[in-house]
Amino acid sequence: MAKKIAFFNHKGGVSKTTNVFHFGWMLAEQGYKVLLVDADPQCNLTGLILSSGSFDRFEQHYLDRPDCNLKSALSPVFDGALSPLTAAPNLEIESRDGLYLLPGHLALSEYEITLTLAHELSGSVHALKNVPGAAAHLLDITADAVGADYVLIDLNPSLSSINQNLFLSSDGFIIPNSPDYFSQMAIHSLARVLPMWSSWLDRAVGHPALQDASYTLSARKPKFLGTVVQNFRLRGGDPTKGFQDQINRLFRVIDETLMPALSQSELAFSLERYSEVLGERSSGFCLGLVPDFNSLVTTSHIGSTPVFALSDEQIGSVGSVLSQNREKRGDFHDIYEKAVRQVVELLG
Ligand SMILES: Nc1ncnc2c1ncn2[C@@H]1O[C@H](COP(=O)(O)OP(=O)(O)OP(=O)(O)O)[C@@H](O)[C@H]1O
Ligand SMILES: [Mg+2]
């Protein structure tokens, strides 16, 4: 069965979507089949992949294929139809073999209330018993239908029930971060919230109404795969001093506050396992430090291509500027290649 990986941080703009796309593409480049799932009503991942710089193509998708998105695929359960869930129609990403997209939907948040009620484990659960396990089942059968090895889930920046549900349905999770004070605050907050979600799962799997649901919840807990720190400036190949200070502070909060909380809640592997894969002295459980893409970010958006996979034609520059950009492209390729190798190893 495919391994599901959630990219989650309730802080906005920390590169969740960017990382889902870059990790997914890199996994596909290494020969894996990968299903990307846009579970954020903002639909940035869908826009990034479908638009290629033109919003019209994004809009056209919903006119041409109204059934091809996460919300429509969940509707048999969430809209109370009696039909069973079936594998979601998804899109093969033409420019990258082995990469598929289950698009998002701007109205996915309409399901938030139903899911919240179903999560309350109250009297309403009987009527809504198939709701909590529906998304995990849908992603599993959709991944099976495309023969996916990995499912990468892009979550929205909030502590919504949709995020809680998909987070807990995953095998592992990655926390993208920015090197700033607000990311440190977000990590403190995750150290409180994620254990609560883990306790909720314990209660839910033991709840009689959910045990006889058609789509049951798995008691297995997602494991922390690491962080990615993104979007800082370099000087002489290293983060500038200001950014390095912020990265150090962030890592300290992750090591001293987040990790103990995750370990206690069965949301982490053993420390030995991380040392084996990430290296003895790695702090912050960091899979990768990704500096500012600079001018390549716009080229990446326009070409719907990760920065490390841009062609010389897409980069478009000539002479020494092209050489510099090629070098940066190679550096980003190395960073993501290593990050993905570590994730594959951690998930075993
Ligand atoms: N390393 C980087 N260098 C430059 N720009 C970056 C880098 N990483 C991400 N960005 C840009 O930062 C913006 C925010 O990134 P992204 O959309 O991936 O964040 P997010 O966490 O998914 O946001 P949200 O919380 O709204 O879903 C995007 O415009 C993205 O292209
Ligand atoms: Mg996003």
Task: List C-alpha distances in Å: 163 to 34, 67, 100.
Answer: 20, 22, 21
Atom 16 of ligand 1, nearest CA residue: 15
Judge if the beta carbon of residue 177 lies within 6 A of ligand 1: no
Q: Ligand 1 pocket check: which of 10, 17, 40 to mutate, most ligand atoms within 8 Å of Cβ? A: 17
Q: Enumerate residues with CB within 5 Å of ligand 2 (an ion).
A: 16-17, 44
Please give the full DSSP string across 121-137, using - where no structure is assigned.
-SGGGTTTTTSTTHHHH
Distance CA 214, CA 102 (A): 23
Judge if the beta carbon of residue 335 lies within 6 A of ligand 1: no
Amino acid at 53: G
- Domain harbouring 275, CATH code: 3.40.50.300
Distance CA 202, CA 60 (A): 42
Residue with tokens 């579970």: 39
Nearest one of 16, 24, 198, 200 to 102, comparing CA atoms: 24
CA 105 to chain centre: 16
User: Residue 198: helix, strand or coil by DSSP?
Assistant: helix
The parent domain of residue 292 ranges over: 3-347
* pLDDT averaged per 10 residues, the chain (length 348): 97 97 98 98 96 81 96 94 91 96 97 95 88 97 98 98 98 97 97 98 94 94 97 90 95 97 98 92 90 95 96 90 94 98 97
Residue with tokens 């970010």: 297
pLDDT at 127: 87
Tokens representing 280 are 């003895």
pLDDT at 53: 63
Please give the tally of structural domains in the chain. Answer: 1
Atom 31 of ligand 1, nearest CA residue: 297
